[in-house]
Amino acid sequence: MKKDKQPRYGYLSKMKGIASSPPKVSLSEIVWSWIGAFLGIAVDDSSVIP
């Protein structure tokens, strides 16, 4: 019995998706997120030091 060497495009095409991407995040939002993360780690880390 021969195996079919053609890929199953019908099955793979379902994974493509049709939704659009969300809007881009502004640079200021990224900067504030980094600042908040840095401060949060610094505060958490300072509580470990005796």
- Length of the chain as a residue count: 50
Instruction: Give me the pLDDT at residue 22, please.
Output: 84
Alpha-carbon distance of 19 to 26, in angstroms, equals 21
The counts of H helices and E strands in the chain are: 2, 0
pTM of the shown model: 0.51
Q: What is the pLDDT of residues 7-47, one digit of tens each?
A: 566 777 777 777 788 899 999 999 999 999 999 888 887 76
Tokens, residue 16 = 């493509």
